[in-house]
Chains A and B, each alone.
Chain A
Amino acid sequence: MPLTLEKAARGRQYLIKEIQGGGPVLRVLDLGLVPGTAIEFIRCAPFGDPGQYKVRGFYLSLRKEEARHILVEAAGP
């Protein structure tokens, strides 16, 4: 089972491997979430969704349904 951003642990670094599927999630490519990019999961919103992520030095909010389509691998602490 490949790791997705939805299952990322808080405060850890990941590398993006692939954005799966199409539709609205593809807009994250334009924001720089292309394969090989480092991404960190910072926190969830109070109701558990969406999540706050740090990528290329800026902060981004993604819903779980979007994070599910982003394949990642663990990198660094």
Chain B
Amino acid sequence: MNGYLTVALGGNPNIGKSTLFNLLTGQNQHVGNWPGKTVEKVEGCFRANGKTIKLVDLPGVYSLNDGTLEEAVARDFLFREKPDVVLAMADATNLERNLYLVLQLMELTPRLVLAVNMMDVAQKQGLTIDISKLSAALGVPTVSISAATGQGIDRLLETVIRVGEGALTPAPRVDYGKEIETCLQKLDGLLETAAIGWPPRWTAVKLLENNPAVTAALKKAGHLEILKEAAACRELIGPGGERKIIAALYGFTHRVVKEAVACRNQEGKTFTEKLDDIVLHRLAAFPMMIALLGIIFAVTLFGAAPLSDGLAAFFTWLAGKTKVTFVSSGASWWVTGAVVDGLIIGTGTVISVMLPTMAIFFVIFALLEDAGLVPRLAFITDRPLKAVGSQGKHCVSCLLALGCSIPAVFSTRIMTGSHRLLAMLTSPLLPCNGRLGVMLAITGAFFGMRAPFVMVALIALAAAVMMVATFLLHRIFLRGDNPGFVLELPPYRLPRLYPVMIRTLRVNVWPVLTRAALVAAPMTAAIWLLSNLPAGSAPSVTARLADLLEPVGLFLGLDGKTLVAALYALPAKEVVLGALAITNGLSQGLEGSAALESYLLARWSGLQAFTFLVFFMLYLPCAYTTVVIYKESKSLKWTALALFLPLALALAVTWAVHRLGLLLIK
């Protein structure tokens, strides 16, 4: 042992695993990815009873052999890193299903402690759980806890340390029933003497399931007599070995629960069922979800506005001070310009627009998730999305994209196969808060009282284009693959404000923001240089680009300068107004110009303003989103498609809106 205990925390999703993790590790957490995988890895250290414990949060899974990425990550960790103790967590209100994973963990390691969480909730539901009976039936030290209140945590830690130090030796007992057990014991004996390096009983189970990887490994190592015995055993228990193993495990959990849990008969519906009657109501579900969305938006926009203004004022002040310092110290004009107008204003715009809106929007969203509402959203939207080849969880990513495309792309990790790619590539089509801010400003200036209707029309158009894009991708590139849609609808519960808020800010908001600023800063500096070099009377690079794009602009009912502005807004969409000021010669930097609004009002018709917003809303994912899509998909082909498809659709839709608008006006 190397001075500290490594403890792996395993369990089903939605059972309060991260609550326990946060409670134990507090601020000492490290969030990253599992090596080479797009699965989040969270680990942290803490001290208890004079021992240092390194706690690794395994991904929440239902099983260790369901073929998902999370499951592979969890299993690999247990095999390779061989943690000193596995802390298995189970939800007291749902023991039968939770114990299934615990049994699988018990087959992998004897150094296991079981924590039964949410005992208080179970009691309210009329369930009485006899912990000592449960512990005896499984042969594993078991502690009842409440991660929410901290009850039972001291005893849990004491037990974990005793098991880790060898003072307490669990004797896990999994009973598959007579027929399978006879086979397992036979194979177990052979595997024990062969010393293959894997837990013998676990390997025996895999052999009965006819697991291809395990069979191949044994064949390679030359254990032909074991494979022969395994084939004979499979013959004995008949076809469908894997199904029989699963059924046997559930048979065992069912018996254990029956023995250890007394259930007072429930009268009528549970709280979750009553609430579902309203939330999932045939006619009311959609109007209620839309109303909820409207409220989230209103709260985000009104709450963020004063904070954004404050931050913007701070960065303007900082830019002014820096400029004075640079000029007085004799720096050349282009260094001053690139640093002040490029770096500071560019980064400042990203932070002042993104930070308040993201913080509010994503915290609200995380609270809804914690309350159990988000899976319900996936449930009611699955059918329409299935029609275009995707599934309900796609809608969750799209909803996040209304805040920021980057967390939306990360959120597609909850999907697999083609569904994940579809959601990753199409959800950035929905306008993020950067784009929404620009849309609000321009619709407000051009349409006055009718602006809210124009906004709703634009967002509805974005949703329609997202559906079309999903359909096209599905039909052309991802035909035939159908990962299916099986989803747990967890019970409702009161969201926990403080831990959810801290986690959201630390995991979603802050890293995204800092990296977005890091990508945006050099690009905004480069744009400043392009617009102001060469110095003198020769046309700048920006002016030449505008000439080059003029025909495309005219085709869309816009002009070259507008398209260059859109191009310059790729580091961060919110700077497009500043970019329009640059390309139209109203300003030298992205900080924008007070004259821009009256300039645009004089030059653009209402139709042109609308056309511009359609193009701006759809055209391309921003620079950092593109980087994230590449990192998540690990494929140049899909990243290229993530750029090409929105661009093609934006050109087509903008052109169509422009022509249709002309017809209607005539």
B66 engages A30 (CB within 8 Å) = yes
Check A56/B484 contact, CB under 8 A, given A45-B379, A46-B282, A46-B286.
no
A30 engages B100 (CB within 8 Å) = yes
Task: Give the distance to chain A from B482, nearest Cβ to Cβ, in Å.
Answer: 7
Chain A positions 37 through 77: 1 when the CB is less than 8 Å from some CB of chain B, otherwise 0: 10000111111111010001111111101100000000000
Q: Interface size on A (CB < 8 Å)?
A: 34
Other-chain residue from A25, A34, A44, A63 in contact with B247 (beta carbon distance below 8 A): A34
**Quick one: which of B250, B286, B491 has the most chain A CB within 10 A?**
B250
**Which residues of chain B have C-beta atoms less than 8 A from A34's C-beta?**
243, 246-247, 250-251
A52 engages B379 (CB within 8 Å) = yes
Q: Interface size on B (CB < 8 Å)?
A: 42
Other-chain residue from B94, B246, B250, B489 in contact with A57 (beta carbon distance below 8 A): B94
B605 at the interface (CB under 8 A from A): no
A52 engages B382 (CB within 8 Å) = no
B325 at the interface (CB under 8 A from A): no
A2 at the interface (CB under 8 A from B): no
Q: Which of B560-587 contact A (CB under 8 A)?
A: none
Other-chain residue from A36, A44, A46, A58 in contact with B97 (beta carbon distance below 8 A): A58
A58 to B492, CA, bound (A): 11
Other-chain residue from B282, B486, B491 in contact with A66 (beta carbon distance below 8 A): B486
A50 engages B63 (CB within 8 Å) = no
B149 at the interface (CB under 8 A from A): no
Check A35/B484 contact, CB under 8 A, given A45-B379, A49-B386, A50-B382.
no
B165 at the interface (CB under 8 A from A): no
A27 to B489, CA, bound (A): 16
Q: Which of B33-49 contact A (CB under 8 A)?
A: none
B286 engages A63 (CB within 8 Å) = no
A58 to B12, CA, bound (A): 13
A25 engages B484 (CB within 8 Å) = yes
Main secondary structure of the interface of B (DSSP, over half): helix
Task: Give the distance to chain B from A31, nearest Cβ to Cβ, in Å.
Answer: 6
A15 at the interface (CB under 8 A from B): no
A7 to B485, CA, bound (A): 18
**Which residues of chain B have C-beta atoms less than 8 A from A45's C-beta?**
280, 285, 379-380, 382-383
**Quick one: which of A23, A29, A32, A36 has the most chain B CB within 10 A?**
A32
A37 to B96, CA, bound (A): 11
A63 engages B382 (CB within 8 Å) = yes
A71 to B62, CA, bound (A): 22
**Which residues of chain A have C-beta atoms less than 8 A from B383's C-beta?**
45-50
B65 at the interface (CB under 8 A from A): yes
A27 engages B486 (CB within 8 Å) = yes
Write the chain B residue with the least CB distance to A56.
Answer: B96
Other-chain residue from B93, B483, B486 in contact with A61 (beta carbon distance below 8 A): B486
Task: Give the distance to chain B from A75, nearest Cβ to Cβ, in Å.
Answer: 16
B280 engages A31 (CB within 8 Å) = no
**Which residues of chain A have C-beta atoms less than 8 A from B96's C-beta?**
32, 56-57
A47 engages B384 (CB within 8 Å) = yes
B107 at the interface (CB under 8 A from A): no
B384 engages A52 (CB within 8 Å) = no
A49 engages B286 (CB within 8 Å) = no
A19 engages B243 (CB within 8 Å) = yes
Other-chain residue from B97, B246, B286, B485 in contact with A50 (beta carbon distance below 8 A): B485
Task: Give the distance to chain A from B183, nearest Cβ to Cβ, in Å.
Answer: 19
A58 engages B488 (CB within 8 Å) = yes
B94 engages A60 (CB within 8 Å) = no
Task: Give the distance to chain A from B286, nearest Cβ to Cβ, in Å.
Answer: 6
Q: Which of B255-285 contact A (CB under 8 A)?
A: 272-273, 276, 280-283, 285
Write the chain B residue with the least CB distance to A28.
Answer: B486
B482 engages A24 (CB within 8 Å) = yes
A50 engages B379 (CB within 8 Å) = yes
B196 at the interface (CB under 8 A from A): no
Check A31/B384 contact, CB under 8 A, given A37-B250, A46-B282, A59-B489.
no
B464 at the interface (CB under 8 A from A): no
**Which residues of chain B have C-beta atoms less than 8 A from A48's C-beta?**
383
Check A61/B243 contact, CB under 8 A, given A28-B486, A30-B62.
no
B327 at the interface (CB under 8 A from A): no
B487 at the interface (CB under 8 A from A): yes
Q: Which of B463-493 contact A (CB under 8 A)?
A: 482-491
Write the chain B residue with the least CB distance to A61.
Answer: B487
Task: Give the distance to chain B from A38, nearest Cβ to Cβ, in Å.
Answer: 11
B66 engages A46 (CB within 8 Å) = no
13 inter-chain pairs at a CB distance below 8 angstroms, sorted by A residue, are A31-B97, A44-B282, A45-B380, A46-B281, A46-B282, A46-B286, A56-B94, A57-B94, A58-B488, A60-B486, A61-B485, A61-B486, A61-B487
Q: Which 9 A-B pairs have the closest CB atoms?
A: A24-B484, A47-B383, A30-B63, A59-B489, A34-B247, A61-B487, A56-B96, A29-B246, A49-B383
B interface, CB within 8 angstroms of A: 62-63, 65-66, 93-94, 96-97, 100, 243, 246-247, 250-251, 272-273, 276, 280-283, 285-286, 375, 378-380, 382-384, 386, 392, 482-491
